[in-house]
Structure 1
Amino acid sequence: MTPLVTLAVLAAAVTHASWNAIAHHIKDQLLSFTLISGGGTLIGLALLPFVPLPAAEAWPYLLVSAALHIGYMALLMRSFTLGDFGQMYPIARGTAPLVVTALAALFLHEVPDGRQLLGVAVACAGLTGLALWGVRGGDGGPRWPALLAAGATGLSIALYTVVDGVGVRASGTPLGYIAWLMILEGLAIPAYALWTRRTALLPQLRPYAARGLLGAVLSVAAYGLALWAQTKAPLAPVAALRESSIIVGAALGTLLFKERFGAARLAAATVMAVGIGLMLTAG
C-alpha cells in the first residue's frame, strides 16, 4: 500500500469510529440511523450532478451491497442497543477483516501469505478474548444476544466489503459508486421510521438533527475513502487497516460514554491490533 492509500484508510478509520460514536450517543437508535441514513441519501443526491454514472457491470454489485448495508445498519442498531459502544464496536469491526481475508482469497484469488495468515490467527485470538471477557452480563457471564448481534454485524461488514471491492473496481468511478450506494441504501430506515412513528417522527428528529447529519457526513466520507482505497490495493490489507478504528472506538467509549476500559478489554484490543498490523505488513 502506498503512503497516500494508507493515509486515506487511516482517515476512514477515524471518521468511521466517530460516526459510530455519534450514532450510539443518540439513545433512540431508530432516530439516530434515520438521520444518518437519510443524510447519506441527501449527500448522494447532491453528488449526482458532479460524478459519472457507474458502468453497467457495477450495478448488480450496487444492488446487492445496498441490501447488505441495510442489514448491517439494522444489526448495528441492535448491537448498540444491547451492549456498550466500546465493547460492541471492536467485536463487530474486528470480525470483518478475518472474513474478508478468506473471501478475498476464495473469490478474488488474493491469497494471503504466511504473515497475513499469522495476523488472522492473532486477531482471532484477540477477538475471542474480547468476546469471552469483554462482554459480561450481571451474572458475570457473556451476554450472548449482544455477542451474536455484534458478530453478525461483523459478518455483514465483511460481505459488503468484498461485494463493494469488486463493484467499485468495475464501476470506473469511486465517487459515482458511493453516491449511488448512499441513495440506494439510505431510504429503507427513514421509510421504516416514517411508517412506525408517522407524524411524531419529525418532532422527535429535530433535537438530534445536527448531530445526526454530522454523522451522515462522516459516514459517507469514511466509506468513500475506503472504497477509493479498494481500487488501489488488495481488499484484505485495506480491511485490516480500516479496522484500526477499533482502537479509536475503544478510546471514544471511555472518553465520551465513561465506559470502563478494563485490563481484559485493553489486552484483547491490543492483541487484535497486533494481528491487524501483521495482516497489513504482509506481502
Structure 2
Amino acid sequence: MSATIFLAVMFAAFLHAGWNALVKTGGDKFQAMFILSTSQGAMGLLMALVLPMPQGQVWLWLLASGLVHSLYKFFLTSAYEHGDLSRVYPIARGLAPMLVALVGVFFLSDQLSVLEYVGIAALGCGIIAMARGVFSNGESQHMLRFAFASALMTACYSLIDGLGARAAGDATVFVAWMFLIDGVIFGSWALWRRGPSVLSARRRVWLRGCMAGGASLGAYWIAVWAMTQAPIALVTALRETSILFAVLIGVVVFREKFDRAKAAATVLIVGGVVLTRI
C-alpha cells in the first residue's frame, strides 16, 4: 500500500468518526440525522441522474438496503441520545464485523482462519468490557440496546449491500440509488414522526447536518476507491481506525470520561476487528 492510499484511508476513517461526532453534538440528534439523510438523498439523486437505472431484482435489494440503513440511523441516533460517543461508537462499529463473520461461518459456509477466530474472541471480550463500563460508571443502560441494534443493522446492510451490488453488476449504481432511497425512507418517516418541526432548524444545524452527510459520502467513496488500488482486506482493516478517532474525539472534544477499562476495551475491539479483516 502506497503512502497516498494509506493517508486516504486514514482520512476516510476520520471522516466516518467525524460525521458521527457531528450527529452527536448539539441538542436534537434526530433532527441532525434527518438533515444528514436528506442531504445524502440529494447527493444520491444527482448521481442517479447520470447513471443507468437498476434492473429487475436489484430493486428488492435496494429497498431492503434503504430500509435497513434507515433503521440503523434511528438506532444509532437513539444510542447517542443516551450515551457517549466514545462508548457507543466502539460497540456499534466493533460488533458488526463479528456478526458478519459469524453469519458467514454458519450460513454462508465461509472458512475462518485461526487469526480470525482469535479476532472474534478479542472482539467479544472488548465489547463485553465496553458494555460492562455502562453499569460500573452509572451510565444509561438504554444506550446498550440501541447500540447493539445499530450494530445488528450495520451487519445486515453490509451483507445486503454486498449481495445487492453484485446483483446490480455496478457498485456505483447501487450506492447512488441506495443513498436516494434511504434518504426518502428516513426523511419521510422523520416528517411523519415529527411533522414540519423537523425542518425548523437553525442555519448552523442545517450546515452541520449537510457536512455530516458529505463526510459520510466522502468516507464511503474513498474506501471504495482504495479497494480498487490496494488489497481489500488491508483497506477494511485500516478503516477501523475510525474507532480510535471516535474515542479520541469523544475524550478531547466532548470531555468524555476515559479510564483504563475503556482504554483496554477499545484496544481489544480495534485489535479484534483488524484480526478478522486481515
Q: Same fold (TM over 0.5)?
A: yes
Q: Is the 8 A contact 2:240 2:274 kept in 1?
A: no
The residue type equivalent to 1:203 in the other structure is S
Q: Structure 2 regions of 5+ residues with no counterpart?
A: none
Q: Is the 8 A contact 1:194 1:201 kept in 2?
A: yes
Residues matched between the structures, number = 277
Give the deviation of 1:220 after TM superposition.
Answer: 1.7
Q: Is the 8 A contact 1:168 1:231 kept in 2?
A: no
Q: Structure 1, residues 145-176: CA drift from partner, whole Å, max 9, x if none?
A: 21111111111101110111111122222221
Distance 1:129 1:200, change over 3 A: closer
1:41 counterpart = 2:38: no
Distance 1:171 1:199, change over 3 A: closer
Q: Is the 8 A contact 1:8 1:225 kept in 2?
A: yes
Q: Distance in 1 between matches of 2:255 and 2:213?
A: 24
Identify the match of residue 246 of structure 1 among 243, 246, 257: 243
Identify the match of residue 264 of structure 1 among 256, 261, 269: 261
Give the deviation of 1:197 after TM superposition.
Answer: 4.2
Q: Structure 1 regions of 5+ residues with no counterpart?
A: none
Q: Structure 1, residues 37-60: CA drift from partner, whole Å, max 9, x if none?
A: 000100001112333334534332
> Could you tell which deviates more after superposition, 172-181 or 39-48?
172-181
1:187 counterpart = 2:184: yes
1:78 counterpart = 2:78: yes
Distance 1:231 1:128, change over 3 A: farther
1:107-186 matches, cutoff 5 A: 107-133=107-133, 135-136=134-135, 140-141=137-138, 143-186=140-183
Q: Distance in 2 between matches of 1:5 and 1:105?
A: 31
Distance 1:5 1:69, change over 3 A: farther
Q: Distance in 1 between matches of 2:71 and 2:192?
A: 18
* Partner-residue secondary structure (3-state), 2:180: helix
Distance 1:239 1:99, change over 3 A: farther
Q: Distance in 1 between matches of 2:227 and 2:103?
A: 15
* Partner-residue secondary structure (3-state), 1:277: helix
Q: Is the 8 A contact 2:83 2:139 kept in 1?
A: no
Distance 1:60 1:109, change over 3 A: farther
Distance 1:208 1:92, change over 3 A: same
Give the deviation of 1:116 after TM superposition.
Answer: 0.9
1:60-79 matches, cutoff 5 A: 60-79=60-79
Q: Structure 1, residues 188-222: CA drift from partner, whole Å, max 9, x if none?
A: 33223333444444332533111110101111222
Q: Distance in 1 between matches of 2:112 and 2:8?
A: 22
Q: Is the 8 A contact 2:9 2:238 kept in 1?
A: yes
Q: Distance in 2 between matches of 1:157 and 1:70?
A: 11
Distance 1:224 1:25, change over 3 A: same
Give the deviation of 1:87 after TM superposition.
Answer: 0.6
Q: Distance in 1 between matches of 2:106 and 2:10?
A: 26
Distance 1:201 1:66, change over 3 A: closer
Q: Is the 8 A contact 1:254 1:260 kept in 2?
A: yes
Q: TM-score, normalised by structure 1?
A: 0.86
